[in-house]
Chain A
Amino acid sequence: MSIFEAILLTVITASTPLVIAALGELVTERSGVLNLGVEGMMIMGAVGAFATAQLTGSAYIGIVGGVVSGALFSLFFAFLTLTLVANQVATGLALTILGLGASGMLGEAFVGAPGVRLLPIEIPVLSAIPYVGTVLFKQDLIFYLSILLVIAVNWFLFKSRTGLKIRAIGDNHASAHALGIDVIRMRYLAVMFGGACAGLAGAQLSLIYTPQWTENMSGGRGWIALALVVFASWRPWRLLAGGYLFGAVTILQLHAQAFGIGIPSQFLSMLPYAATVVVLLIISHNRRTTLINTPASLGKAFVPDR
């Protein structure tokens, strides 16, 4: 394996959880709900996946455990913000704190456990292509899922009838409600989809990225996923590109250091975040397109008239 392939492989591992978690949040936000609890849902997914895999001995059942943990945890957020109409920003922050704490408690028994690693699946024929084959077609299930998810979500949001409804309630929940769309029910589903994705991203962390459980192992990746959604201006393909750009800058700065390039390490560590800010600036340069892209009801509570 050449160093080029090695770097690409590492970039993919680092980018996949960001893309998946951000994609879930993208759907949630398209429905008009701002859930800042991605970090909390992600870490719950990580502990859920690790524990399930450890107890059953199967990394695949572990993935299911992660997805279910994330979705159930987000249900709690949905109940508070959609049914009880609690403030979305505060509830999201609380969800992160609760997730970090609860996962630590739930995972205490699993600290230092050997872990079950999710193995790569080699796709015949395609994996024999030089360079591309090793990098793209000898990957684990979650990577393939992430690409399929981007395609599916893009189709769903912009081509399907339900997707149109989701975008409609995200832009103007009152009108959508007047048209007979069940706003609350749709938002419940969107929030839970976001939670399931964050859980899947968490499963990638504890089954592939670093197959182990340690408290706080999500390391702020949920916050990066949140930024990615804005970075992508709520569009799945841009989100995929953004996720990989972020992953690539993160990995390349480590390689630059190991090569002994004389740039301060703090500067290099900052680069991925700086890149995000720069792209955000470029995107928001045109105020009109930003406004068009942002779901107009984002973060606003909806109380149906009875």
Chain B
Amino acid sequence: MKKLALALAATAALVLSIGSAAEAADKTKVCFVYVGTRTDGGWTQAHENGRLQLEKEFGDKIETPYLESVPEGPDAERAIERMARSGCSLIFTTSFGFMDPTIAVAKKFPKVKFEHATGFKAADNVATYNSRFYEGRYISGIIAGKLSKNGTAGYIASFPIPEVVMGINAFETGAKSVNPNFKMKVIWVNTWFDPGKEADAAKALIDQGVDILTQHTDTTAPMQVAEQRGVKAFGQASDMIKAGPNVQLTAIIDTWGNYYVKRVKALLDGTWKSEQSWDGLKDGILTMAPYTNMPDDVKKLAEEAEAKIKSGELHPFTGPINKQDGTPWLKAGEKADDGTLLGMNFYVEGVDDKLPGK
């Protein structure tokens, strides 16, 4: 019934925003389809910030209608198609689950250009873009490895998709680089967005002795629990320092704005081409919140790692790295290729959890 409710709400939202989108036709329309609400404090808000940056940059030249809370699934295709029909020149669809719907709509509207976030299917008029979040998680891991007293971190995970598994492994690999015996406990909450459940998971991890916390879910609830209990933690998607002024060490901030500006410029110049972009720290699509609440030497270590990743000197997944069961994955000096990372479905050594579905 909740799904029905969401579907109805989405339809209502659709009708409303299409109404306002139809008014001015002379400006170039750059449209957005969001999976969550603009003010979720995490994933969708990060995209919304990018949209606002576009408005600031291009002013009257473009218009940026958006749809919020579009559920993944059949409704997504209808939502994207409505956007395409309403005269959008470029449509950003910002959730993994919008991948197939985007491709399907793109076939029907060859003149409209599409960009899908975090997907792997492309077409002549469909580009994909993603961010190398794992670079930030590797740095977080280094900090955790240095600061954790008992060498065990807790990870609040959403869904067992490659993106999240990659995040867990990057964190563990980073921590291991400074503390070879570092362990990680993982709790899967099977949601991106449920403050209560995320808080419960944070409490369970802390009660079981974890003294550093990181999350791959979208609300600030775990950070808030960490603040109350005095346990250090990392923010996700947005800077969460307000929720954890005394405990946030840093946060991985999604900064899509620069990418959006680049792509819209290309659209206006007529140089837009379908690309599969996977940028990271060096391109500014991913930024780290200020390193706080930690001793200077750890801060220095983190800053050095960030600089090395930016210069290309350091790849977080560089061997020797073993898989969870101890079998070798990467030989000394060997770097993981992007294909393996994007389809990652195994843990590295040191993760104290059984990967769902394995």
A254 neighbours in B (Cβ, 8 Å): 187, 189, 200-201, 204
* A219 and B186 contact, CB distance less than 8 A: no
Q: Which residue of B lies closest to A107 (CB)?
A: B39
Choose the segment among A20-28, A53-61, A228-236, A264-272 that binds chain B (4+ C-beta atoms closer than 8 Å). Answer: A264-272
8 A Cβ contacts from A210-257 to B: 210-212, 214-217, 219-221, 223, 250-251, 254-255, 257
The residues in B between 322 and 358 inclusive whose CB is less than 8 angstroms from any CB of A are 352-354, 356-357
- Chain A residue numbers with a CB within 8 Å of B242 are 112, 114
Interchain CA distance A221-B195 in the complex, whole Å: 12
With A and B bound together, what is the CA distance between A210 and B197 in angstroms?
A: 10
- Among the listed B4, B40, B154, B207, which residue makes an inter-chain contact with A215, where contact means beta carbons less than 8 Å apart? B40
- Which of the residues A97, A251, A258, A269 comes within 8 Å of B5, measured between beta carbons? A97
**Listed stretches A6-14, A138-146, A276-284; interface member:** A6-14
How distant is the Cα of A104 from the Cα of B34 in the complex, in angstroms? 15
Chain B CB within 8 A of A74 CB: no
* B41 at interface, CB cutoff 8 A: yes
A229 → chain B, closest Cβ, in Å? 15
What is the size, in residues, of chain B's interface with A at 8 Å between Cβ atoms? Answer: 45
List chain B residues, Cβ under 8 A from A260. Answer: 185, 352-354
Q: Could you tell me which residues of chain B, from 183 to 240, have a CB within 8 Å of some CB in chain A?
A: 185-191, 193-197, 199-201, 203-205, 207-208, 210, 219-221, 224
With a cutoff of 8 Å between Cβ atoms, the chain B residues found around residue A250 in the complex are: 197, 200
B224–A100 touching, CB < 8 Å: no
- Cα of A251 to Cα of B186 in the assembled complex, Å: 15
- Whole-angstrom distance between the Cβ of B197 and the nearest chain A Cβ: 7
* A36 beta carbon closer than 8 Å to chain B: yes
A263 to B255, CA, bound (A): 37
Contact of B1 with A by CB under 8 A = yes
Report chain B residues within 8 Å CB of A205: 196
Given A97-B9, A251-B200, A251-B204, A257-B353 contact (CB < 8 Å): yes
- Distance A251 CA – B201 CA, assembled complex (angstroms): 8
Q: Is B52 in the interface zone, CB < 8 Å from A?
A: no
Partner of B195, one of A14, A114, A212: A212
Q: Which residue of A lies closest to B202 (CB)?
A: A254
> Which residue on B lies nearest to A40, using beta carbons?
B5
Q: Are A111's CB and B353's CB within 8 A? A: no
Q: Are B190 and A265 in contact (CB under 8 A)?
A: yes
A-binding residues in B (CB < 8 A):
1-2, 4-5, 8-9, 12, 37, 39-41, 154, 160, 185-191, 193-197, 199-201, 203-205, 207-208, 210, 219-221, 224, 242-243, 352-354, 356-357
For this complex, 5 residue pairs linking A to B, each with C-beta atoms less than 8 Å apart, are A3-B208, A108-B39, A212-B224, A258-B187, A258-B205
